Amino acid sequence: MSLEIESSDVIRLIEQFLKENNLSRTLQTLQEESSISLNTVENVDAFKKDIIDGNWDSVLTTVLNASVPAKQLGELYEQIIVELIEMRELGAARSLLRQTEPMQLLKARAPERFLRLEHLVSRTYFDIKEAYPDGTTKEKRRHAIAKALASEVSTVAPARLLTLLGQSLKWQQQQGLVQPDTAFDLFRGTTQVVKAEDDAVPTKQYSLIKFPGKKTYAESAVFSQDGQLLATGSVDGFIEIWNYLTGKLRKDLRYQAEENLIAMDNSVISLAFSKDSELLASGSTDGVIAVWKVATGHCQRRFSPAHSQGVTSIAFNKDGTQVLSSSFDHSIKIHGLKSGKILKEFRGHTSFVNNITFSADMARVMSASSDGTVKVWDTKSTSCIATISPQAQVDVPKGALNPIGGAGGQTVNNVIVVPNNPDQILVCSKTSMLYLLNIRGQMLKSFTHDKKSGADFISAAISPHGDFVYAVAEDSVMYAFNISNGALVNELKLTDAEIIGIATHPYSNILAIYDEKGQVMLCKA
């Protein structure tokens, strides 16, 4: 059974809020346009006491925002004028008598009473018997007016609008619809969009996600494009959505609150959110890709198998209708979400394809492979535009295209498009060097920590605005470099365990670094 809410009640809630926040002109306008008056007081007894004690400023403020019958309102004004005359506040008495609407109504309906007041205000002295005839007194008149006005108003607790909104949010939290530790945009009915920060290097761990069991750990992690979620894919096939601010599981997602986690049959080694953050794609070691609706946990599409071997990397196109994937089977494919079919295939790598990404305009695909090369592909034709070695050669002129084949066959772990510089890419290979290249393969800059051994880079990421490069290495250290001058600006040792990967937040200076001991370390500047 649905409960109907009267629009007049909503208006009164707004009117009370306006009154309590001293927005008197707005309140008056709303009452005039809606013809709905507040007609409430916080405490009827206090209202009556104000009348009996003659606190007329407070009384008038209350009745002006209420709908009081003309008869009772006229009696109130009449009494106030008499008391002003008694105190010889004749100017104020004349103003109330001649310039207020209740007194003009009194003049029209009871001219003899109006003339009596005119006579009182014009006299040079105050005659109490003339002011209070027939044995009445000031106190009796006040009590009578208090009784009459009290029957016209009702009692309402203060701040009802805020109270109801608070109760609504509390109920939504209890139902798992709103995360308690997340900032909430009450007007839009959504969690607040994270505001972009100026780039700064994360230097401290502020939270830790720890997977249960000795053999459970995250194989992949990614932040959503809107900056609200952190997803992890584990070695046991589970996919979990986290509140990255607290390191706690998002229980506002009903399926997680009920412990019905998203899961695949094998280890989840790649994850990607769609641009609108509504879809999450996952790839597993058995070559399967699944696309999930984040809000419900339902599988929207399954490609089984998408590849003959493990899916190493995934990316959505801009409108979320296609999924780009790479695999240990040396191939790159584009899959259609609507058709469920393979739309395009890119072949040319001679070893594992470890990472793929679209260019900013979606016209090109970049891939990183264990064959020691980065390839640039035309998205439409699937033809290879360039094959790039991520390591400079001694006999190659500075700035020239590096030769095909790589240097010593060093594995290329990942390739990243630089934010705010879409024609530049960062390449992380299994060496102690990172390379900044343009899209044609020309070397622009290199980054290194200068350690001789045992510290080859595993994975890299770039800060939201492209000012810093972050890379995790075999020595379990996160290295931060200034992208403009190549300088090493920070080293952060978080664990003694082998680090698997790193993910950076799209707007904030936050990193998620995950290791083989089942830890996801959340760091901030």
> Cα angle at 264 between 470 and 510, to 5 degrees?
20
pLDDT at residue 68, rounded to an integer: 84
pLDDT at residue 177, rounded to an integer: 61
pLDDT at residue 134, rounded to an integer: 83
One-letter identity of residue 69: P
Q: In this structure, are strands 364-369 and 353-358 parallel, antiparallel, or unpaired?
A: antiparallel
Edge-to-edge strand list for the sheet holding 342-346: 311-316, 322-327, 332-336, 342-346
Pick the CATH number of 216-347 from 3.40.50.720, 1.10.8.350, 2.130.10.10, 3.50.50.100: 2.130.10.10
Domain boundaries, the chain: 39-155, 160-189, 216-347, 362-496+512-525
> Looking at the DSSP assignment, which residues form a beta bridge with residue 184?
191
Of the chain, the end-to-end C-alpha distance in Å amounts to 51
Give residue-wise pLDDT tens across range 478-515.
999 999 999 999 999 999 999 999 999 999 999 999 99
216-347 against 362-496+512-525: fold identical: yes
Q: Which residue has the tokens 């009449």?
A: 78
pTM of the complete model: 0.68
DSSP sequence for 159-217: -HHHHHHHHHHHHHHHTTSS-TTS-EETTTTEEPPPPP-------EEEEEEE-SSTT--
Name residues of the chain where pLDDT drops below 50.
Answer: 1, 392-408
pLDDT at residue 180, rounded to an integer: 62
Q: Which CATH architecture has domain 362-496+512-525?
A: 7 Propeller (2.130)
Ramachandran area for residue 451 (φ above 0: left; ψ -120 to 50: alpha; else beta): beta
